[in-house]
Amino acid sequence: MNNEIDYTNNPLHGLSLKNLLIEIVDHYGFDILFAYLNINCFKTNPSIASSVKFLKKTTWAREKVEAFYLYQYKSLPKVSSDQFSLPPRDRVIPDDQTPGEPAELSMQDAEQVRVKRVTKAAAYKQDRAADKRDNNRYAKHEALDSADSATEEYEDPWAKWR
């Protein structure tokens, strides 16, 4: 039995990063890419060459662009939870899923997505801050409890003479 995984149904299989960028830039343009992905290489002096250079060095940005290519440009259904943790190039696309037409994206839709992301990020930061406050509160109580137990164990012999 062969344990090799078949990636041939993945649209990224055999596609260079440069060709991927050329396809999506020709279809959407740098403005839409920046609006949806919020990666500065698509805003500040955008070019295919500089974007490829940046994306080759930056794993998180490359994976974000590859996921955009798969799920917006190729209109594949969202991945299963076990495939979600894998980088887009390592995902196995089931044989019954075929790429579709590119999604129609607009700047107005991008603004709605941006607002949704900002709201979600603010809620996440608020939750993290609350968790941190709770942890600090817990640590203070632990410190006070240990200080109380330390004073119970130690009694200053010169206390009466001061």
pLDDT tens digits, one per residue of 142-155: 666 665 555 556 67
Q: Is 52 part of a structural domain of the chain?
A: yes
Q: Looking at residue 47, what is its pLDDT? A: 95
Based on the domain organization, do 153 and 130 belong to the same domain?
A: yes
Question: Structural domain of residue 87, as residue ranges?
Answer: 17-103
Comparing CA positions, the residue from 57, 49, 79 lying closest to residue 67 is 79
Based on the domain organization, do 145 and 98 belong to the same domain?
A: no
Task: Report whether 35 contacts 73 (CB < 8 A).
Answer: no
Dist CA 76 CA 59 (whole Å): 22
Q: Is 11 part of a structural domain of the chain?
A: no
Return the exposure string of 45-59: e unless at least 16 CB atoms fall within 10 Å of the residue's CB, then b.
ebeeeebbeebeeee
Based on the domain organization, do 97 and 22 belong to the same domain?
A: yes
What band does 1 get if pLDDT is binned at 50, 70 and 90?
very low
Based on the domain organization, do 57 and 33 belong to the same domain?
A: yes
Share above pLDDT 70 across residues of the chain, in percent, rounded to a whole number: 82
Q: Is 152 part of a structural domain of the chain?
A: yes
Read off the pLDDT of residues 49-103 as tens digits, 9 standing for 90 and up: 999 999 999 999 999 999 999 999 998 888 888 888 889 988 888 888 888 899 8
Q: Which residue has the higher pLDDT, 132 or 152?
A: 132
